[in-house]
Amino acid sequence: MIQAKEAYSKIGMRYTLTYLLYLAIWILALFIIGLTGLLESLDSGILTVVDMVLRFAMLYPLMYLVIRNVPKFDIPKKKLGAGKFIACAIIGYTIMYLSNLCGMILNGIAGRFTGKGAVVPLLDAFEDTNPTVWLIFAVFLAPVFEELLFRKFIIDRVGNFGELPAMLISGLMFGLFHQNLSQFVYATTLGMFFAFIYIRTGRVIYTILLHMIINGINTLVTRNAMGNVDVGEMIRLLNNGDTEGYMQFVQENSAALTGMMFIGFAVIILVIVGIVLMIVNRKRVRFAYHPGEVEKGHRFNTTMVNPGMLLYTAFFVAMVVLAQFGIDIVATVAQILKLI
């Protein structure tokens, strides 16, 4: 139990400290750019790209380097057939979709208390970033790095202390790392599902591909919803009882609205199939016992009540809370530097 607690603590502590180092470097870079007078000419889209480059080129490799000396265990390799892989993709999307609905509800409730409304940083970043760049980062690079960091590297080091705790912590750390309530719920549940697949197969390539597929579908749906139709204007016309204006809006955007309806219908069918698959396969969710794993009754204290995980949880929960009030540390620093 002591060895397990030390492993979890090292992972939480080192991931957090590495992220703090990244934040410090990012803020220092903004300060240097500010001294040159170029910061005012940089829009949020460019800053988002720079942020992503720093993450993939520096932060994520460092997160691996700081935990690579934590002892790891071998996970037996098993193949996932084509049929099972497709089923996992459908189930994964269904989990993401349903938990995202829950996240949206929680986000809306939190928005009433903060007075900021629902906070959705992902949509803001999507809107401000070139679609091709977004595709590269969100659909290809992010799944590779995130699955390695939050599935393989974590579970390889704590899986033998208990598969269920490893799965839960993998998902929780992944969800908190997104630093906003909008993504926290679905990232956590989806992260747990990916962790289960990795535990059962020992092959991270499966979760990387599933992650890519789900992010790709999300990008397609988001682009269709945001890029072609001003949904807010359509709702405004309906609420105002402007029937003539509404009909004209529908006629002018008929092709785009048809596309939205088609994609929406396809998503509903996909989710229904996913729910059926989850019900049919529910008995396959089993966890193997490993000699020396943490027994029930001690799992929470071992995995969460240790310096590293307490620091990780406290820091990223604070970031989530700040995001709900519309506060982004890096963006705030950039705005301050622009005023200096």
Total residues found in the chain within this entry: 340
Q: Do residues 170 and 15 lie in contact, with contact meaning Cβ atoms separated by under 8 Å?
A: no
Low-confidence winner among 84-93, 126-135, 282-291 (lowest mean pLDDT):
126-135
pLDDT for 47 equals: 78
Residue 228 binned pLDDT confidence (cut-offs 50, 70, 90): low
Average pLDDT across the chain, whole number: 86
CB 33 within 8 A of CB 89: no
Q: Is the pLDDT of residue 252 over 60?
A: yes
Whether the predicted pLDDT of 290 surpasses 90: no
Tokens of 189: 């549940």
Mean pLDDT of 272-301: 91
Q: Which residues contact 249 (CB under 8 A, 6 or more apart)?
A: 233, 234, 237
pLDDT of 124 > 70? The answer is no
Cβ atoms of 335 and 47 within 8 Å: the answer is no
Lowest pLDDT segment from 53-57, 139-143, 235-239: 235-239
| pLDDT range class, residue 225, cuts 50, 70, 90 | low
pLDDT exceeds cutoff 80 at 263: no
**pLDDT over threshold 60, residue 202:** yes
Residues 266-287 have a mean pLDDT of 93
The pTM assigned to this predicted structure is 0.88
What whole-number distance in Å separates Cα of residue 137 and Cα of residue 65? 22
**Is residue 234 very low, low, confident or very high in pLDDT (cuts 50, 70, 90)?**
low
User: Are the CB atoms for 158 and 295 separated by under 8 Å?
Assistant: no
Ramachandran angles phi, psi of 69, nearest 5°: -90, 0
What residue has token string 């393989």? 152
Q: Which pLDDT score is estimated for 115? A: 79
Query: Number of structural domains, the chain?
Result: 1
The C-alpha atoms of residue 128 and residue 124 are separated, in whole angstroms, by 6
**How do residues 3-32 score in pLDDT, each as one tens digit?**
899 999 999 999 999 999 999 998 888 888
Q: pLDDT of 94-106, one tens digit each?
A: 999 999 999 988 8
Question: Which of 51-65, 123-137, 217-231, 248-262 is modeled with the greatest confidence?
Answer: 51-65
Can you give the pLDDT at residue 191?
A: 97
> Shortest CA distance to 233 belongs to which of 252, 223, 246?
246
Question: 40-48: long-range contacts at Cβ-Cβ below 8 A with a sequence spacing of 24 or more?
Answer: 40/338, 43/128, 44/124, 44/128, 44/331, 45/128, 45/129, 45/130, 47/330, 47/331, 47/334, 48/125, 48/128, 48/129
Over residues 73-77, mean pLDDT: 91
Q: What's the whole-number mean pLDDT along residues 30-48? A: 74
**What pLDDT sits at residue 167?**
97
Percent of the chain having pLDDT more than 90? 53
φ and ψ at 235, to 5 degrees?
Answer: -65, -40
Which has more confidence, 294 or 232?
A: 294
- pLDDT for 109 beyond 80: yes
Q: What is the mean pLDDT of residues 214-234?
A: 69
Whether pLDDT at 35 is above 90:
no
Q: How far is CA 106 from the centre of its chain?
A: 16
Q: What is the mean pLDDT of residues 46-70?
A: 91
How much is the pLDDT for 91? 97
Using the predicted structure, report yes or no on whether residue 336 has a pLDDT greater than 70.
Answer: no
Q: Which of 77-81, 133-137, 313-317 has the highest mean pLDDT?
A: 313-317
CA distance linking residue 94 with residue 279, whole number of Å: 12
In tens, the pLDDT along 137-194 reads: 889 999 999 999 999 999 999 999 999 999 999 999 999 999 988 899 999 999 999 9
Distances (CA, A) of 328 to 59, 69, 119: 18, 33, 11
Structural domain of 118: 2-339
